[in-house]
Amino acid sequence: MAEHNVTVEGTLEVLLNEKKYSTLKDILVTMNPADIAAVFEELEEERTPLLFRLLPKELAAETFVEMEPELQELLIRGFSDTELKEVLEELYVDDAADLVEEMPANVVKRILTQADPQMRKEINEILRFPENSAGSIMTTEYVSLRPAMTVSEAFTRIRRTGIDKETIYTCYVTEDRRLLGFTSVKDLLLIDDDEKRISEIMNPNVISVGTMDDQEEVAQMMSKYNFLALPVVDTDQRMVGIVTFDDAMDVLEEEATEDIEKMAAIVPSDKPYLRSNALEIFRQRIPWLMLLMISATFTGMIISGFESALAAQVVLTAFIPMLMDTGGNSGSQASVTVIRAISLGELEFRDLPAVIWKEIQTAVLCGVALSAACFAKILLIDRLLLGNTDVTVLVALVVCVTMALTILVAKIVGCTLPVLAHKLGFDPAVMASPFITTIVDALSLLVYFAIANALLF
């Protein structure tokens, strides 16, 4: 797709230079909003308002939604009040609420002034909800039917109100805003009898989420049940909106990115990497680097404590990086696996004993295989091939026993901490590699020197 855009973009730029606006318009209307937005992002800023005005109203609004906040702000600042009003009228309420969240205060004021009173009310309603809640990603525009309606009345209502709704395919049956059930356009279409009542057709076993539910849980639910939309109810069980599958997909991607960033000791940010400047990236990265650097004081203290032993057997130092890295990698394998399973809802606190037992077995298998390989490697490569005579069989033994024990400790710590963090209400993703590595480093050094003391001195 990217290559395709480059060419299209080039053509569009030529047409823009030559002021062939009607040809330009003919091409734009054949394109998808997301692709048009990509063209806009590549264009020089001054030319965007002109190109934007060529788009038909509905397409203009759809393209607007797909743009990055910077460009949206630029366009809004150039809009007349009437133009702004026209774009707002075409937006779905949830997109309008997103826009309001992203814009600076003075732009927000203009948006809310130009939005019609009903939309202003609905935007404010959505904005009441905390970030990452179901309420904050829902739209208040959905098709609601009454239980007493007939199928043909339902179709009339869908036809009359459907044009402004993000999805019409799942219809919610409500009475006094209480959610009684749901039905789908598919079910309605496949029913022969036009006079049948909605109350007879609807499925009363409707799964809903609360406005304050975590958006990640909501997205996981939609993925689990394969729903197009999920109704959102308030604390009085009154229906206030729906979350649609496209927003759920975005949430799943965002949350995966967030987890990945946390696992790599990065403070998550909503801003894409290429659009962040060095100072913003620095702010995401320095907190954990600083904390982990300071906490490495402990490993330093452990080594200092064994300085005299190390001075007597300098060869032991050469194996410190290998032991630390193997321990760190073993631990992060366990922690990352467990963190992902928790994120996907596959693993809960009650599974902890099973998880620990699984990790102990895995650690024994990995420990035996790696220690054996390491023993052979040390004697064949370090001693024979590289001719390091300080590397005795006893040294190799100390290293390999340490390795096996380190792996065991690393796997147990790695699988336990995320589960405990989750149980205590913290984000398990923070308990990933860097954190585990620091703990495992200290433990592996203690084991190393204890065994060296016992066997070598």
Binding residues among 291-330 for a second copy as defined by CB under 8 A: 292-294, 296-297, 299-301, 303-304, 307, 310-311, 314-315, 317-322, 324-326, 328-330
Q: Which of residues 367-406 bind a second copy (CB under 8 A)?
A: 369-370, 373-374, 377, 381-382, 386, 388, 403
- Residue 11 or 85: the one with the smaller Cβ distance to a second copy is 11
Instruction: Report how far residue 85's alpha carbon sits from residue 63's, in angstroms, rounded to the nearest whole number.
Output: 16
Q: How far is the CB of 174 from a second copy (least distance, A)?
A: 19
Q: Which of residues 5-44 bind a second copy (CB under 8 A)?
A: 30-32, 34
333 contributes a contact to a second copy by CB under 8 A: yes
Which of 48, 114, 136, 337 forms a contact with a second copy (CB under 8 A)? 337
Q: Which of residues 130-159 bind a second copy (CB under 8 A)?
A: 155, 158-159
Q: Which of residues 259-298 bind a second copy (CB under 8 A)?
A: 259-261, 263-266, 272-274, 277-279, 281-282, 285-286, 288-290, 292-294, 296-297
Structure-token pair, residue 292: 């982990």
456 contributes a contact to a second copy by CB under 8 A: no
Q: Is the CB of residue 221 less than 8 Å from the CB of residue 208?
A: no
Strands 170-175 and 144-145: parallel
Whole-angstrom Cα Rg for the chain: 30
- Residue 81 or 380: the one with the smaller Cβ distance to a second copy is 380
Instruction: Report how far residue 95's alpha carbon sits from residue 289's, in angstroms, rounded to the nearest whole number.
Output: 37
- Taking 3-state DSSP, the helix, strand and coil percentages for the chain, each rounded to the nearest 5, stand at 70, 10, 20
- Residue 84 or 442: the one with the smaller Cβ distance to a second copy is 442
- Residue 110 or 157: the one with the smaller Cβ distance to a second copy is 157
- What are the backbone angles phi and psi of residue 244, rounded to the nearest 5°? -100, 160
Q: Which stretch binds a second copy (CB under 8 A): 12-20, 115-123, 346-354, 418-426?
A: 346-354
412 contributes a contact to a second copy by CB under 8 A: no
DSSP code string of 189-206 = HH-S-TT-BHHHHSBS--
Q: Is the CB of residue 339 less than 8 Å from the CB of residue 419?
A: no
190 contributes a contact to a second copy by CB under 8 A: yes
Which of 133, 136, 183, 362 forms a contact with a second copy (CB under 8 A)? 362
Instruction: Report how far residue 142's alpha carbon sits from residue 231's, in angstroms, rounded to the nearest whole number.
Output: 9
Q: How many CB atoms lie within 10 A of CB 314?
A: 9
DSSP state of 166: S
- Residue 126 or 222: the one with the smaller Cβ distance to a second copy is 222
The one-letter code for the residue type at 58 is E
How many chain residues bind a second copy (CB under 8 A)? 119
- Residue 14 or 290: the one with the smaller Cβ distance to a second copy is 290
Q: How far is the CB of 225 from a second copy (least distance, A)?
A: 5
Q: Which stretch binds a second copy (CB under 8 A): 17-25, 43-51, 349-357, 419-427?
A: 349-357
Q: How far is the CB of 128 from a second copy (least distance, A)?
A: 25
The residues, ordered by sequence, that sit 6+ positions from 229 with a Cβ below 8 Å of its Cβ are 142, 167, 169, 170, 242, 243, 244, 245
Q: Is the CB of residue 32 less than 8 Å from the CB of residue 59?
A: no
Instruction: Report how far residue 136's alpha carbon sits from residue 129's, in angstroms, rounded to the nearest whole number.
Output: 5
